[in-house]
Amino acid sequence: MTAFESALKFVLKHEGGYVNNPNDTGGETNFGISDRRDGVVDGKADLNGDHVPDVTIKDLTQEQAAIVYSREYWTPCKCEQLHPAVALIRFDTAVSIRSVNHLFAPHSMYLTEIR
């Protein structure tokens, strides 16, 4: 099992399967892939990043979700360059906060002067 496969297995334990709860602000979600993540609420997911929906959220497979996780989190976080344990932490954090950019932002962005 590769480091990515191991990390994805860990993440998917917490992300779960298909959910379409009207009280959930994330909207329709499958394997943690939200319909709202691409900015268009259409019940579909873009698998290859070309901004064209490829599959419905409900029909999304775990293998297809892995493509999205690799493209949007694992690769941008440069997890393949890290020790597997560190890669898991970085990957899981990026997925949890739904952003890679925040992991690389300067800490000073978050500091405010106390007067």
pLDDT in tens, 11-38: 999 888 899 988 877 789 999 998 887 7
Q: Which of 80, 102, 93, 97 is CA-nearest to residue 37?
A: 97
CA distance 104 to 113: 21
User: Quick one: pLDDT at residue 22?
Assistant: 85
Which residues have a Cβ under 8 Å from the Cβ of 72 and sit 6 or more positions away? 49, 100
R_g over Cα of the chain:
15
Three-class SS state of 37: helix
- pLDDT tens per residue across all 115 residues of the chain: 999 999 999 999 988 889 998 887 778 999 999 888 777 888 998 888 888 888 999 999 999 999 999 999 999 999 999 999 999 999 999 998 876 665 555 444 444 444 4
Q: Which of 66, 91, 68 is CA-nearest to residue 81?
A: 91
User: Quick one: pLDDT at residue 108?
Assistant: 42
CA distance 113 to 67: 41
User: Quick one: pLDDT at residue 36?
Assistant: 82
pTM of the model: 0.81
Burial of 95 per CB tally in 10 Å (0-12, 13-18, 19+): buried
